[in-house]
Amino acid sequence: MKDSKLWLIYSAYTHDIVAETEDIKSFLASQPGMSKNAHIQIYKTNTYDSNGKKVILPTYKGYFIREKGDENPPVFPAKRYRDPTGYKLFEINSESEITKIAEIKDLDSYIKDNGYSDSDKTLLLRTCKIKRDGEVNLSEHNGLFLRPVGENVPVIKPPKKKYVKPDHHRGRGEKYAIFDKDLNIVDITSDLVGFIQGYNEKHLKENPGSESFFNYHKPFYKTNTPSKENPNIPRSDFYKGFFIRAVKDLESGNNLYIPAPSASVKSAYNSHLDLLVWNKSIHTDEGIIGYFVPSHQKTVGIKKINKAKLYETAKSYRDGFTSVDGYHAIFIKDIIEDKSKIMELLADEDVILPKEIANRIS
């Protein structure tokens, strides 16, 4: 459909003239993804709204038009950016030092594989979304920010500095026990970044040409953060086969549940081999600390225990509580079956029941 006017069709991405024609409908029909009424929509990119101050539609499916020879054409829209083919992830610390963490082709997979949540993804994407004033929507999220990769994507300046939480929010000096996928404690440290660096150095030495095993330390914290659904379990069980627990929580028996390796226990935290364990040398002013030790767990506090020997001593509780390396034990199923007698014995021992066991026998 021709009209009496000659139209210039521009690319919304580059502002280059891609066509000069009297027949806009035929041009659009030759472009992929256009509807039959595309020509009606694209005229809106050159038509002022009722206030006469701006066009009704800045661009339409990657194009906008202007009449050739118009001495007072509407102001050109801002250049559009194409969807990125990937992202670069950066970290900025409190000293404003910036480090590239990763190059990401599939953001969804990266978020899932590295222990981030959907809300983390949303906030990270806001660090490379440009507002109308040319500024990014969010400068950084937990010290991280994204930058898009690809042809005709925005070039965005890095943030000048990282927002630093006050000291009382930062968890300074917290000591963590790092567990592997087999539930063994492989390190106790207050420096998770140092642990990751050391592990990566060893990994790269043993696997020349490979990528770093860990990309970042913060997903570790989600393995020690209570989930919204159940305050006893973490938001993430593992981060690349590892998880952490605060040492002070392990020693006091107030830690989140230790995750069960998949399929190793039919019903984790509800097995006939679950134990109540205590050590008379580990106590508070209120009494001796009792620990809930599910069947798959290998540790009490931060100590590795001999489960086979503890099972043997747990079986003989009727003959008196014996110990293995200072630890006493009894099966939770026996507490439930012989509640009155055993609760009396535990009271004599001055053992404080952990909440997990108190709830199961109530």
DSSP string, 184-200: -EEEEES-HHHHHHHHH
Q: Do residues 64 and 77 lie in contact, with contact meaning Cβ atoms separated by under 8 Å?
A: yes
Longest distance between any two alpha carbons in the chain, whole Å: 106
pLDDT in the model for residue 133: 62
3-state secondary structure (DSSP) of residue 253: coil
pLDDT in the model for residue 264: 43
For the entire predicted model, the pTM comes to: 0.56
pLDDT in the model for residue 170: 40
pLDDT in the model for residue 166: 45
H/E stretch holding 111: helix 107-113
Give the other-Cβ count within 10 Å of 123's Cβ. Answer: 19
pLDDT in the model for residue 11: 92
Q: Do residues 126 and 114 lie in contact, with contact meaning Cβ atoms separated by under 8 Å?
A: no
Under-50 pLDDT residues of the chain: 166-172, 263-267
Please give the Cα distance from 203 to 218 (Å, whole number).
19
pLDDT in the model for residue 266: 43
Token look-up 């097995």 returns 271
Token look-up 């086979």 returns 308
Q: Do residues 7 and 20 lie in contact, with contact meaning Cβ atoms separated by under 8 Å?
A: yes
Q: Which residues fall within 8 angstroms of residue 181, CB to CB, at 6 or more apart? A: 238, 241, 242, 261
pLDDT in the model for residue 167: 39
Q: Do residues 237 and 243 lie in contact, with contact meaning Cβ atoms separated by under 8 Å?
A: yes
Please give the Cα distance from 42 to 200 (Å, whole number).
54
10 forms bridges with which residues in the sheet?
A: 17, 64
Please give the torsion angle defined by the CA atoms of residues 44, 49, 55 and 57, in that order, rounded to the nearest 10 degrees: -50
pLDDT in the model for residue 277: 95
Please give the Cα distance from 202 to 160 (Å, whole number).
33
Q: Do residues 314 and 306 lie in contact, with contact meaning Cβ atoms separated by under 8 Å?
A: no
Give every strand in the sheet of 351-352, ordered side by side.
327-331, 275-284, 287-293, 351-352
pLDDT in the model for residue 280: 92
Please give the Cα distance from 91 to 159 (Å, whole number).
10
What type of residue is 50?
Answer: S
Considering only CA atoms, give the Rg of the chain. 31
Please give the Cα distance from 74 to 101 (Å, whole number).
43
Q: Do residues 176 and 187 lie in contact, with contact meaning Cβ atoms separated by under 8 Å?
A: no
What type of residue is 167?
Answer: D
